[in-house]
Amino acid sequence: MKLLDYRLVAPGVCIVATSYGLARYAYGLFLPVFREVFDLSDRLLALTAAASYASYFLITLAGIYLSTRVGPRLSVLLGGLAAALGMALIAGATAPWMLILGVTVAGVSPGLAYTPFSEIIVTLVTAPRRKGIYAVINSGTSLGVMLSGPVAILLGENWRMAWAIFAGFGLLSTLWCVAILPPVAARNAVGFGQLDWRWMTSGGRGRLFAVAFLIGIATSIYWAFSVDLVTAGRTTIVLAGHRLDPATFGQVFWSLVGLAGFAGAFAGRIVGRIGPIRSLAVFQAGIAVATLMLAAGQGPVAVLGSGLVFGGFFVFMAATLGMWSLDLSAEAPAVGFGLTFLLLSAGQFVGPMLVGLMIGWVPLPALFVLASGASLAVLALLPRRSVPALAEGV
């Protein structure tokens, strides 16, 4: 790996770990704790999760603008600082509104910190190496998820200290990322003034955005409510001859989700061999199976197996979506990439909102079955033609 690659990959992995793995997804790990400490209903917990995705959705447009008009470094800095601030607010929350504010501010982070990396990679990395570099950076989500589990286990009931540690990690990662990233000037490529409905729906982009939206709905339910599902109603869990309390078992489960996601660093090789469309079909089928396993699995082996499958295939899926967007929007990578994950976040906003509306009438396991069906429905939306052919309008 070249020196330039290290200057991109190392800080990129850390900032993605901060913005996604911690600022966005760690909420699901602590959901049972927040319910007890703040006396929150299932509906309010679901709406709080939706607030995180809504803030990301709204701020992603700013990330696209900053990347194309000002330069990506400022956007990364603002995104990282939002993550650190939001997680610090969660650590110090003494009332439900403070928790919701912290979750919302932290949710802003990926829209600002993650989107610019498409512009950075396309500008600095030669075409043959882009997919591999991007796949490794994208696996940073798993680093954040994996770190949050052991921290929660070690600190036990001191969840505030855990979130303070997350905030400190986020601040250090942000400062290091901004210091080490090579300078990249704004390219002033395709901007908002040049975007119209025809551009967004032509060249296969409309189908890509629809796929991203549906994937967002399906996967958000797993991220937000999986720990709640595997711990609810349990007293003790016997795992490899050891008795675990529900909270510890949930933390072990969460750590395995993160650990499995590191396999996503190899997504570039898989996509390079069979293409993004076939890759995405395989990964979405795996996500559907993992979600169904969690809905049906009562034993700890089935639960942990679901976490391993979901963690690995989710990071594979996210990397493939990013690569697909870069293939279709090479003239404006930050715009195409940003809009793809904007639609993903829109779906991730809708998912918890639906749970909040249905949780009083539909059991949580049944909602996971529906989420599994939504993941399978993605397969029907995938194109049958290759990405280059679509891009050319064939």
Euclidean distance between CA atoms 177 and 192, whole angstroms: 27
Position with higher pLDDT, 16 vs 2: 16
Spatial CB neighbours of 295, under 8 Å, sequence gap ≥ 6: 229, 365, 366, 368, 369, 372
The mean predicted confidence, pLDDT, of the chain is: 83
pLDDT for the residue numbered 38: 93
* pTM score of the predicted model: 0.82
Band (pLDDT 50/70/90 cuts) for residue 391 is very low
Euclidean distance between CA atoms 218 and 80, whole angstroms: 27
Q: Are 321 and 387 in contact (CB under 8 A)?
A: no
Taking alpha carbons only, the member of 363, 311, 350, 30 closest to residue 218 is 350
- Largest pairwise CA distance in the chain: 62
Percent of the chain with pLDDT over 90: 29
pLDDT for the residue numbered 282: 92
Could you identify the residue written with the tokens 């990578």? 333
- pLDDT digit string, tens, across residues 259-312: 888 887 777 788 888 888 889 999 999 999 999 999 987 688 889 999 999 999
Most confident of 8-12, 215-219, 262-266, 351-355: 215-219
Percent of the chain with pLDDT over 70: 84
Band (pLDDT 50/70/90 cuts) for residue 67 is low
Q: Are 321 and 215 in contact (CB under 8 A)?
A: yes
pLDDT for the residue numbered 389: 42
Euclidean distance between CA atoms 313 and 140, whole angstroms: 14
pLDDT for the residue numbered 187: 56
- Using alpha carbons, list the distances in angstroms from residue 248 to 184, 227, 234, 235, 364: 44, 10, 12, 11, 21
Is residue 212 scored above 90 in pLDDT?
A: yes
